[in-house]
């Protein structure tokens, strides 16, 4: 039996999808089209690598739009669909609470919702972006660079969390970089947002 609908998150460096209760994620460089499960239709969030959309059946491309319960502090034509869907997932999960959403991936994005109003928390380079900025000839220096950039990024994220009073949601492929005790770690809020949009 062919499952009907596939939810797809195409990012800068990874692609993930969910069908039923099964979730799968792989780096773009290792993506194999034959790994895609059989499906009839698909909802797709795509921020890069648009050529991959062609591998999915009857795709519905999701774009940011006005959403009940959220007032956006951003031009929706410029807001990444990954950030939009993460906010949708957050506001549906915590409609009466302030929250900060941190997505740690190729880039680190921070979005805050207070009293139903979205506040842009900024875009920062992710770990790979930072580490690609310099290559050292010696192994010890390269290891030290990697350690320094990891500490710098984790310190930045932790400082933002300490300064915030409310729920903290952390998602994205690099979420293991930080250990925020009071944060709620979420496998993929983009996929969760796609499921919510599909159900509306």
Which listed residue (9, 82, 103, 111) is catalytic? 82
| Mean pLDDT over each residue of the chain, to the nearest integer | 94
Task: Determine the Cα–Cα distance for residues 112 and 98; give it in Å rounded to an integer.
Answer: 8
Residue 200 has pLDDT above 80, yes or no: no
Q: Which residues are CB-contacts of 16 (< 8 A; sequence separation ≥ 6)?
A: 8, 9, 23, 24, 25, 26, 188, 190, 191
Contact 76, 66 (CB under 8 A): yes
CB under 8 Å, gap of 24 or more: what pairs does 56-62 form?
56/6, 56/8, 57/6, 59/8, 62/194, 62/197
Query: What average pLDDT does the segment 22-36 reach?
Result: 95
| pLDDT tens digits for range 107-147 | 999 999 999 999 999 999 999 989 988 888 889 999 999 99
More confident residue, 137 or 166: 166
Share of the chain above pLDDT 70, in %: 98
Q: Predicted confidence band at 182 (pLDDT cuts at 50, 70, 90)?
A: confident
| pLDDT tens digits for range 59-91 | 999 999 999 999 998 999 999 999 999 999 999
Residue 3 has pLDDT above 70, yes or no: no
Task: Determine the Cα–Cα distance for residues 171 and 89; give it in Å rounded to an integer.
Answer: 11
Residue 175 has pLDDT above 60, yes or no: yes
User: Known catalytic residue: 111?
Assistant: no
Other C-beta atoms closer than 10 Å to the C-beta of 178 total: 20
């Amino acid at each position: 039996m062919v499952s009907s609908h596939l939810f797809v998150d195409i990012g800068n460096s990874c692609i993930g999808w969910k069908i039923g209760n099964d979730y799968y994620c792989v780096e773009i460089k290792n993506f194999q089209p034959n790994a895609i499960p059989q499906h009839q239709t698909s909802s797709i969030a795509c921020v890069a690598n648009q050529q991959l959309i062609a591998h999915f059946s009857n795709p519905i491309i999701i774009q940011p739009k006005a959403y009940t319960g959220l007032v956006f502090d951003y031009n929706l034509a410029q807001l990444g669909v990954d950030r939009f869907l993460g906010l949708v997932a957050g506001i549906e999960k915590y409609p009466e609470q302030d929250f900060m959403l941190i997505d740690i991936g190729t880039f680190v994005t921070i979005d805050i919702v207070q009293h139903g109003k979205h506040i842009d928390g900024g875009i920062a380079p992710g770990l790979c972006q930072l580490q690609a900025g310099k290559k050292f000839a010696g192994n010890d220096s390269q290891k030290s660079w990697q350690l320094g950039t990891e500490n710098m990024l984790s310190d930045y994220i932790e400082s933002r969390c300490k300064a915030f009073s409310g729920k903290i949601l952390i998602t994205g492929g690099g979420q293991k970089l930080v250990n925020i005790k009071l944060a709620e770690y979420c496998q993929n809020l983009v996929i969760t947002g796609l499921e919510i949009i599909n159900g509306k």
